[in-house]
Amino acid sequence: ETGVTQTPRHLVMGMTNKKSLKCEQHLGHNAMYWYKQSAKKPLELMFVYNFKEQTENNSVPSRFSPECPNSSHLFLHLHTLQPEDSALYLCASSQGWDRRGGSPLHFGNGTRLTVT
Amino acid sequence: EDQVTQSPEALRLQEGESSSLNCSYTVSGLRGLFWYRQDPGKGPEFLFTLYSAGEEKEKERLKATLTKKESFLHITAPKPEDSATYLCAVQDRKDKLSFGAGTTVTVRA
């Protein structure tokens, strides 16, 4: 199994649909993240979980709802999305922080979301 | 607020033509600077971490350097397989990570 696996790879949904994105990491990491990537813009942090506890919610609209049932799995539940939410959604994991600084993020290949 | 600016936005190189990418940053207490490579349709792949000014890291044709204001990613004698978008990110003293918008490198054979 590769390090961080995201499903589905592509998702097209209408504005009234409800769907979920799934992420699984096989690296034994303590922290998991959701990022949004839009064309020609920096990665935007959405949510952070450390040891299954949400430690950061970066002013994300409530139509995005994260869930972290254990340290290996992360979900992003979507409902009533807007066309401007179309983007690549990336999941990442990391070991956490050491005395020198943060350990690097390991990313999945993302879910390409299109909202129609 | 931390800021990360990458330049140029796009870079087209001939195979074997060495060049450098720039990552300028302002950050409240740098704890680490990260370089990633992202191929189309894939997530970013970690390349290097630099912790303090003067530090250098190398991997194959890539070399990353760090000063107090910027980092450079030098690509020596690039090959077509080095074509990708290169992302820079800085981590501040509150452990917040901020990414730049990336530099897209195209290497022609």
pLDDT digits (tens, 9 = 90+) for B67-84: 999 999 999 999 999 999
pLDDT at A98: 58
Cα torsion B64, B68, B70, B73 to 10°: value is 0
Judged by CB atoms within 8 Å, which residues 7-36 of B form the interface with A?
9, 31-32, 34, 36
pLDDT score of A2 more than 70: no
Mean pLDDT of A79-90: 96
pLDDT at B89: 96
pLDDT score of B106 more than 80: yes
Residue of B nearest to A87 (CA): B41
- Tell me if B43 and A92 make a contact (CB, 8 A cut-off): yes
For residue range A30-61, list pLDDT tens digits in order. 899 999 999 989 999 999 998 777 777 778 99
For residue range B6-44, list pLDDT tens digits in order. 999 999 999 999 999 999 999 989 999 999 999 999 999
pLDDT at A50: 85
Of B36, B46, B51, the CB nearest to A100: B51
pLDDT at A99: 55
pLDDT at A80: 93
Q: Cα–Cα distance between A23 and A66 in angstroms, integer? A: 11
pLDDT score of A109 more than 70: yes
pLDDT score of A68 more than 90: yes
How is residue A85 annotated by DSSP? G
What angle (nearest 5°) sits at the alpha carbon of residue B108, between those of residues B105 and B109?
145
Q: Cα–Cα distance between A7 and A21 in angstroms, integer? A: 6
Pick from B50, B4, B58, B49: nearest CA to B28: B4
Average pLDDT, chain A: 90
Number of H helices, E strands in chain A: 0, 11
Q: Is B94 on the interface with A (CB under 8 A)?
A: no
